[in-house]
Amino acid sequence: MPVSGLGAYDPDNVFARILRGEIPCRRVFEDDHVLAFHDIRPLAPVHVLVIPKRPYVSFADFSARAGDAEIAGFTRALGRIAATLGLDEAGYRVLSNMGADAGQEVPHFHVHLFGGAPLGPMLAPG
């Protein structure tokens, strides 16, 4: 059973449909465990989404249920993608929204990779 307040995995969420090839994406990287593609509404000059191929609803779900090799593969892919995009020297931001308070919109675990310009404060003062 998935972990987090998001309920059961919805196999028709937009990222599941991208993984099945039903919706196009601008692919950046793919291996056995991971797909990375450009966000459709970029919030920075580089805004890439990195997702596992297996169905996890959120970071909480992924961190609790994914295997060690899957977690290591995901993390290493994320680092390689950032390096390949040329972001290592200037820097970048990695972010995952988990659940309602974070405003998670798509219920398939994903990490946002932002870069290409100074990104400003981490959160708007609230």
The binding site for ligand 5GP (CB under 6 A) comprises 14, 23, 25, 37, 39-41, 49, 97, 103-106
Minimum CB separation from ligand 5GP for residue 89, in Å?
25
- The span from the CA of 113 to the CA of 31, in Å, is 17
State yes or no: is 110 an active-site residue: yes
- The span from the CA of 38 to the CA of 46, in Å, is 8
For tokens 């937009």, what's the residue?
A: 14
- The span from the CA of 25 to the CA of 18, in Å, is 7
Cβ nearer to ligand 5GP, comparing 23 with 90:
23
Minimum CB separation from ligand 5GP for residue 58, in Å?
9
